[in-house]
């Protein structure tokens, strides 16, 4: 008997420039992830802000009408291309902001918060990136998958976590399978289908476990974002943009932020493509 269950998204919007379907609960099913937003962004809506205790990860779908620019207090200004991944490992703290490379055009992607193990929460911040051509690709009968991170994707992660984008043709089937000791969830990005008796539709996530493979049947073209990882099962105290092990670490993170210990990042003055993408 399947133990899979569906959990719906929470919808949120910021003006006319940002809208998302988000999953933040139940944390026990998301672990080692803290949050996932399936977002569409047309205008800059976030001022420079801090993060500490986790990794803030942005993945842009290949159908995104524009790339994004990610700036950080480490001195970086990075381009995120459609189909690309940007991983800000915040550690003890970093300032950053992100916005569409072309204002008015829609950036379509996933914003993912990946928890850090307790012994990594105070490490130095770091930025990791993968271009679309660096991501392994697989295919089977009626389905295709891109390994965004984890698995064979070449990203140095501090604990096991993975994301695959899977496209399943109408009438085809895709079987999920997790490694022993891992759990995960599949977000329906677009299309409709079935997981046994459970209906799959956009805005829903399906829990996955290592107990048994789950067969997903596509009624029409189905796109899934499949997350998996080894749950940390460690205490997490969340306060705004911080996710620490205890209240003392949260207080210390607030002090670092206010004293400039996470660096400084001035508000952007122009919305231009970073120099690294210019020829």
Give the integer Cα–Cα distance in Å for 208 and 3.
Answer: 8
Q: How far apart are CA 112 and CA 142, in angstroms?
A: 28
Return all residues near 181 (Cβ < 8 A) that are at least 6 apart: 210, 230
What are the φ/ψ torsions at residue 161 (nearest 5 degrees)?
-155, 145
3-state SS of the chain? CCCCCEEECEEEEECCCEEEEEECCCHHHHCCEEEEEEEEECCCCCCCEEEECEEEEEEECCCCCCCEEEEECCCCEEEECCCCEEEEECCCCEEEEEEECCCCCCEEEEEEEEECCHHHCCCCCEEEEECHHHCCEEEECCEEEEEEECCCCCCCCCCCEEEEEEEECCCCEEEECCCCCCEEEEEEEECCEEECCEEECCCEEEEEECCCCEEEEECCCEEEEEEEECCCCCCCEEECCEEECCHHHHHHHHHHHHHCCCCCCCCCCCCCCCHHHCC
Quick one: pLDDT at residue 278? 38
Question: Taking the CA atoms of the chain, what radius of gyration do you get in angstroms?
Answer: 18
User: Strand pairing of 68-72 and 204-209?
Assistant: unpaired
pLDDT for position 20: 95
Residue 1: predicted pLDDT: 42
The pTM score is 0.93
CATH of domain 10-133: 2.60.120.10
CATH class label, 135-232 = mainly beta
SS (H, E, C) 59-98: EECCCCCCCEEEEECCCCEEEECCCCEEEEECCCCEEEEE
What is the rounded (10 degree) CA torsion for 82, 84, 89, 93? -20
pLDDT at residue 270, rounded to an integer: 59
Residues of the chain with CATH 2.60.120.10: 10-133, 135-232
pLDDT along the chain (279 residues), means of 10: 80 92 92 97 92 98 97 96 98 96 95 98 97 96 97 90 98 94 96 95 93 92 97 96 97 97 87 45
- Phi-psi category of 252—alpha, beta or left, where left has phi over 0 and alpha has psi -120 to 50? alpha
Residue count (the chain): 279
């Amino acid at each position: 008997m399947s133990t899979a269950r569906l959990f719906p998204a929470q919808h949120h919007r910021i003006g006319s420039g940002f809208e998302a379907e988000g999953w933040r609960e139940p944390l026990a099913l998301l672990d080692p992830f803290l949050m996932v937003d399936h977002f569409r962004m047309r205008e800059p809506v976030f001022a420079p802000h801090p993060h500490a205790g986790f990794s803030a990860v942005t993945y842009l779908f290949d159908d995104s009408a524009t790339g994004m620019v990610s700036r950080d207090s480490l001195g970086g200004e990075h381009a995120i291309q459609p189909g690309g991944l940007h991983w800000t490992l915040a550690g003890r703290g970093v300032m950053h902001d992100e916005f569409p490379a072309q204002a008015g055009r829609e950036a379509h992607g996933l914003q993912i918060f990946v928890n850090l193990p307790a012994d990594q929460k105070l490490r130095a911040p770091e930025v990791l990136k993968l271009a679309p051509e660096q991501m392994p690709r697989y295919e089977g009968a009626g389905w295709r998958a891109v390994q965004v991170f984890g698995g064979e994707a070449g990203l140095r992660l501090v604990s096991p976590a993975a994301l695959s984008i899977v496209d399943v043709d109408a009438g085809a089937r895709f079987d999920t399978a997790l490694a022993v000791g891992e759990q995960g969830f599949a977000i329906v990005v677009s299309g409709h289908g079935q997981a046994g008796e459970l209906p799959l539709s956009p805005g829903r996530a399906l829990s996955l476990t290592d107990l048994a493979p789950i067969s997903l049947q596509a009624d029409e073209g189905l796109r899934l974002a499949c997350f998996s990882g080894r749950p940390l099962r460690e205490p997490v105290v969340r306060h705004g943009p911080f996710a620490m092990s205890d209240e003392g670490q949260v207080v210390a993170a607030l002090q670092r932020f206010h004293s400039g210990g996470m660096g400084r990042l001035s508000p952007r003055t122009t919305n231009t493509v970073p120099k690294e993408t210019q020829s």
